[in-house]
Amino acid sequence: MELNEAQQAHYDRLVAEQKWKDDERKSDHRLKRKGGLGNVDVERSLLMLACTESEQALSMGKWIQADDFVVPHHGQMWTAILGRHADGKHSTLLDAAIAANISADSALKVMRLGHNRSPHMMQELGEQVIAWSKLRRAAQSNNAAWQIASKSENPHDALREVQAALPNREALELTTRTKRTHSAQELAANAIARYTGTSTDTARVHATGLPVLDEMLGGGVRDGHMVVVAARPGVGKTALALQTACNVARTGRVYYALRESTVADLTDRGIAHVGRVSLGQLMARTANMYDVEVAAEAWAKLDLHIDDRSETLSEIMEQAMAHHREKPLSLMVVDYIQRVKVQGKFDNREQAVSHISRELADVAKVLGCPVLALSQFNNRTEETLAPRTSDLRESGAIEQDASVILMLWHPEGKLASNKVDCIIGKNRTGRMGKVALTFAGDQQRFEPRTEFVVQPVRTPKVRSTFNKSGD
């Protein structure tokens, strides 16, 4: 069948365009073989969506940078698109190409080869770009990471495998940007600004909600610190963590990794705490419904995000990072260390817990927020003796890695279970000592306990009228 002139021209254009697409995809494969780990199609689709979804693009621009793209001019176009949106201007791919001072062909490639995706896919596309970026950084210095990443089409699965295969410190580097140093001059200026209250930085200290404890801790829990709360079962570890989380969540975001109980259980305890409602009556459905509704409304206003699905350390870290990208975290809670699973081979549970402890301490520094990690004591710890930091279960590394260690203990035994001492066994930036507390279990709340200390009566010395000879 012969084609007329118009049909032949149309056919030739289709053939030429298909050849051009095939050549571009071959170029993409060559890029990957040369070490350019990434998915070019994902980057193109992200750029197309970024042009139309301005608000989401600006939000994602806080955690996706130009150097996260495997194709350099994709990163340049990303920056240009964000710049136009920030100025309140509409952006097209051609506008971005012109603003980035790159050829219009680059914009045409994105339009012709990129796939149209639904706007709700934009977040996932961005996370894939970030995952490939982390894999490239790992592959630059580790051949094992390159072998894993080059064979995988799913960057998230590859990233988990690489993190499990790499040493602890190298695996942590996959969660952060290139490190920057700070001069002593800069640090001194920042310190003076903090001391005088003129600093524009976010709060470095977050109050626990217990003024007597905050005073001992120098104001509360500090950014970048791992704070360990340890106790035997049933003393109030989760209650203290929940009280701190609720207090911080009034003004900042809190991520709570729950490994011990259920979300429903923690919610009941949280509502009882914030509303001062009887937990027993709440569970028995005999509480005043008006009080319950007021308490539930107060609970709903907290910027608190509870995660009971993440079981492994890597999953918890991924979820924490996801929340942190959306809004910087003010606190991260892990309830509790011994229930967290970890990938990789360890000779015993003590090594695994040590690995978890070191990772959480590093995560606190990476996220720039406190990590409140709950831990149990060894079973051999006697209930009649005040606990020591060496009693932490399964690992001496927790004692080493923690910046602060708080140990809860019944000083008069379980018969007086409402009396709890919070022993500050370690504090790198404040005082050590004991805080006397009262635990109202029915409201899941700790309160200061006033103790009356009887001082010994000093008898004044009376000079003897007798001389040494006794005369």
Please write the tens of the pLDDT for every residue from 288-322: 889 889 989 999 999 999 998 888 888 888 888 88
pTM for the predicted model, two decimal places:
0.58
Per-residue pLDDT at 12: 62
**Minimum mean pLDDT range among 22-31, 157-166, 271-280:** 22-31
Average pLDDT, the chain: 78
Q: How confident is the model at residue 470 (pLDDT cuts 50, 70, 90)?
A: very low
Q: Which of 145-154, 225-234, 240-249, 445-454 has the highest mean pLDDT?
A: 240-249
pLDDT above 80 (res 189): no
Q: How confident is the model at residue 109 (pLDDT cuts 50, 70, 90)?
A: low
Rounded to an integer, the average pLDDT of 134-150 is 77
Per-residue pLDDT at 452: 43
How many of the other CB atoms lie within 10 Å of CB of 387? 23
Per-residue pLDDT at 116: 60
Rounded to an integer, the average pLDDT of 427-453 is 82
Please write the tens of the pLDDT for every residue from 279-295: 888 888 888 889 889 98
Per-residue pLDDT at 406: 93
Per-residue pLDDT at 15: 58
Rounded alpha-carbon distances, angstroms, from residue 27 to 38, 140, 153, 384: 13, 21, 17, 71
**Minimum mean pLDDT range among 80-89, 350-359, 404-413, 448-457:** 448-457
Please write the tens of the pLDDT for every residue from 365-403: 877 889 999 988 876 555 667 888 877 766 677 888 889
pLDDT above 50 (res 30): no
**Minimum mean pLDDT range among 111-120, 242-251, 353-362, 428-437:** 111-120
pLDDT above 60 (res 114): no
